[in-house]
């Protein structure tokens, strides 16, 4: 029997079934899938700061898993909270997605998310991510194949707007996918080519939700607890994914719940490095450390300079020493005095 649990029909929220983020709001808060970032090490770090309602793995190539990649055990690791973790798969054809869904069905994940939103040029060229929006019939077949492979799995898709800053294209695409048995969707409301600097427009999440019977989660642009609260108050999405800000401040979910925990940026950096070496293969350490610190250093006064310095190192020990030196020179950056609700 599959270990997946498909959601029951939407229940009214009562005090006993409110999600963990209920101090701030009944809106569930999720860690967004981020390649090279949302591996088990980072998920453990966030869990040690109190965790979030749901984790996503980084996007995992379905084809690589089916080809028995030597790194598959690291990619498929669901720790620290399998029952709150969705696998996210990147794939190029419906058969691959059906095969991978069958492959992971008994691993105890919360469910499966299909990546139809990634806009990285090499992924799009290969026919994955947002390229699926150009092949709506095949995309429908992919969702149907995933549903057929795991009839009881919680199944979702993560999307972007597509080519235009308008709702029509993505709504038509999403409606067709829902007819194949999706349980929910996430919209990162930006077009394929929009630069990182342009803010995600959550009005499109509201518009999509008005057209679909399944919950639509919002992703993009949460930069603080205050911005999260403003967005939830205004747009009331089914759930919110937090991506880069959860790397800059792994305690953001705890702060959103009103927990008064003291964040120590040097201690969190040390802990991240320990967890990285524990939960990722040595071959991945330098690149994953650098990707993490690209975001983690952003709130620091001289963060850009620190990140430039870190880029030249190849061992975690060197990275750690450089970080310690930074906090010795800039002790004011060590305990971020974040405003709380
Ligand atoms: C480094 C990085 C890697 C990402 N990788 C993925 C991914 O693997 N799958 C996915 O669906 N989205 C991916 N995204 C998009 C995020 O899930 C999210 O939608 C986006 O960062 C906007 O949210 P934010 O403003 O909270 O960061 C990635 C984003 C970044 C910055």
Q: Which of residues 203, 229, 256 is at a domain's end? A: 256
Q: How far is the CA of 262 from the centre of ligand 1 (A)?
A: 27
CATH code for the domain of 43: 3.20.20.70
Confidence of residue 196 (pLDDT cuts 50, 70, 90): confident
> With 70 as the cut, is the pLDDT of residue 92 above it?
yes
> With 80 as the cut, is the pLDDT of residue 334 above it?
yes
For the Cβ of 222 lying below 6 angstroms from any atom of ligand 1, the answer is yes
Q: How far is the CA of 302 from the centre of ligand 1 (A)?
A: 25
Distance CA 5, CA 282 (A): 34
Do the Cβ atoms of 301 and 271 come closer than 8 Å? Answer: no
Rounded mean pLDDT, 88-111: 96
User: Same domain, yes or no, for 59 and 139?
Assistant: yes
CA angle 256, 257, 259 (to 5 degrees): 100
Q: How far is the CA of 188 from the centre of ligand 1 (A)?
A: 9
Among 29, 31, 34, residue to substitute to test ligand 1 (most atoms within 8 Å of Cβ):
34
Which residue has the CA at smallest separation from atom 29 of ligand 1?
Answer: 34
For the Cβ of 52 lying below 6 angstroms from any atom of ligand 1, the answer is no
Q: Which structural domain range is residue 251 located in? A: 19-256
Among 30, 31, 33, 60, residue to substitute to test ligand 1 (most atoms within 8 Å of Cβ):
33
Confidence of residue 197 (pLDDT cuts 50, 70, 90): confident
Q: Which residue has the tokens 């996503």?
A: 56
* Residue-wise pLDDT tens digits, 10-50: 444 444 445 555 556 689 999 999 999 999 999 999 999 99
* DSSP H or E segment with residue 112: strand 111-116
* Residue-wise pLDDT tens digits, 286-321: 999 999 999 999 999 999 999 999 999 999 999 999
The predicted model scores a pTM of 0.94
User: Same domain, yes or no, for 85 and 227?
Assistant: yes
User: Same domain, yes or no, for 73 and 173?
Assistant: yes
Partners of 111 in the β-ladder: 86, 154
* Residue-wise pLDDT tens digits, 215-269: 999 999 999 999 999 999 999 999 999 999 999 999 999 999 988 888 999 999 9
């Amino acid at each position: 029997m599959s270990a997946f649990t498909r959601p029951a029909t939407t229940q009214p929220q009562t005090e006993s079934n409110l999600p963990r983020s209920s101090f701030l709001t009944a809106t569930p808060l999720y860690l967004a899938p981020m390649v090279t970032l949302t591996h088990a090490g980072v998920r453990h770090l966030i869990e040690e700061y109190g965790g979030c309602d749901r984790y996503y793995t980084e996007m995992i190539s379905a084809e690589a898993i089916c080809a028995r990649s030597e790194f598959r055990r690291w990619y498929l690791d669901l720790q620290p909270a399998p029952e709150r973790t969705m696998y996210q798969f990147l794939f190029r054809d419906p058969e691959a997605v059906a095969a991978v869904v069958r492959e992971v069905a008994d691993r105890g994940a919360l469910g499966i998310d299909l990546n139809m939103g990634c806009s990285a040029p090499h992924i799009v060229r290969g026919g994955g991510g947002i390229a699926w929006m150009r092949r709506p019939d095949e995309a429908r077949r992919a969702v149907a194949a995933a549903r057929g492979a795991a009839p009881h799995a919680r199944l979702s898709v993560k999307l972007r707007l597509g080519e235009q800053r308008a709702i029509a294209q993505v709504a038509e695409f999403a409606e067709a996918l829902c007819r194949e048995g999706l349980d929910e969707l996430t919209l990162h409301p930006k077009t394929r080519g929009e630069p990182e600097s342009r803010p995600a427009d959550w009005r499109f999440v509201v518009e999509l939700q008005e057209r679909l019977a399944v919950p639509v989660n919002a992703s993009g642009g949460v930069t603080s607890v205050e911005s999260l609260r403003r967005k939830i108050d205004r747009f009331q999405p089914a759930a919110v994914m937090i991506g880069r800000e959860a790397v800059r401040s792994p305690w953001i979910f705890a702060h959103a719940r009103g927990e008064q925990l003291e964040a120590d940026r040097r201690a969190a950096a040390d802990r991240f490095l320990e967890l990285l070496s524990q939960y990722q293969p040595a071959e991945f350490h330098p690149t994953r450390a650098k990707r993490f610190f690209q975001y983690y250093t952003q709130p620091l006064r001289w963060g850009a300079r620190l990140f430039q310095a870190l880029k030249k190192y190849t061992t975690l020990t060197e990275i750690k020493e450089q970080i310690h030196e930074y906090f010795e020179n800039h002790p004011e950056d060590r305990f971020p005095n974040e405003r709380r609700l």
